[in-house]
């Protein structure tokens, strides 16, 4: 099955759950297992939350752009903001690093997204924005366990 979708929405925290629901609906025909569903929901949630909190610094006027495609059982997703960007991606990817200590942010978002992905990439240009991309291959459905 090949399919694709494109969604844009305001950078409001209430839209984080909306983005999760959209991606889950998009992959539903693959009949993902519970672990795969939780991993995809977590990656999308982290990506959108990072865009809202760090990219736009909670400015609800920002736009988040999410694209997804399915090629067979491989999902590819990009989540893009047009916010402030990341000065040092390698530093930002370090566990426990956060620019929002005062908000008690854990600094684990990139590590979590990467651990749940088959492929994960962050591209950012200060003053232009940030794009995270990830891929996930879904296990074949075992009809004998259904």
105 is catalytic: yes
| pTM, rounded to two decimals | 0.86
- Residue 3 has what pLDDT? 97
Whose tokens are 């494109």? That residue is: 6
State the pairing for strand pair 119-125/129-137. Answer: antiparallel
Q: How far apart are CA 146 and CA 144, in angstroms?
A: 6
Which regions of 51-144 does DSSP assign to beta strands (E)?
63-71, 74-81, 119-125, 129-137
46 is catalytic: yes
20 is catalytic: no
Q: How far apart are CA 40 and CA 32, in angstroms?
A: 10
Catalytic residue among 105, 114, 123, 135: 105
Q: In Å, what is the CA distance from 89 to each residue of 20, 42, 120, 137?
A: 24, 20, 13, 25
Q: How far apart are CA 22 and CA 55, in angstroms?
A: 21
> Is the distance from CB of 93 to CB of 132 less than 8 angstroms?
no
Catalytic residue among 15, 36, 39, 50: 50
Catalytic residue among 16, 36, 39, 46: 46
pLDDT tens-place values along the chain, 146 residues long? 699 999 999 999 999 999 999 999 999 999 999 999 999 999 999 999 999 988 998 899 999 999 999 999 999 999 999 999 988 777 777 665 565 555 455 556 788 899 999 999 999 999 999 999 999 999 887 755 55
Q: How far is C-alpha 95 from the chain's CA centre?
A: 17
């Amino acid at each position: 099955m090949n399919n694709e979708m494109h969604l844009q929405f305001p950078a409001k925290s209430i839209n984080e759950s909306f983005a999760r629901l959209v991606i889950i609906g998009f992959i539903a025909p693959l009949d993902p297992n519970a672990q795969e569903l939780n991993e995809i929901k977590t990656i999308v949630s982290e990506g959108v939350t990072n865009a809202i909190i760090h990219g736009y610094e909670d400015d609800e006027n920002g736009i988040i752009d999410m694209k997804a495609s399915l090629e067979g059982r491989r999902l590819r997703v990009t989540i893009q903001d047009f916010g402030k960007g990341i000065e040092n991606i390698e530093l930002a990817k370090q566990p426990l690093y956060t620019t929002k200590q005062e908000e008690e942010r854990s600094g684990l978002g990139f590590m979590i997204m990467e651990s749940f992905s088959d492929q994960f990439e962050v591209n950012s240009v200060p003053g232009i924005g940030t794009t995270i991309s990830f891929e996930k291959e879904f296990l074949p459905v075992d009809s004998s366990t259904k």
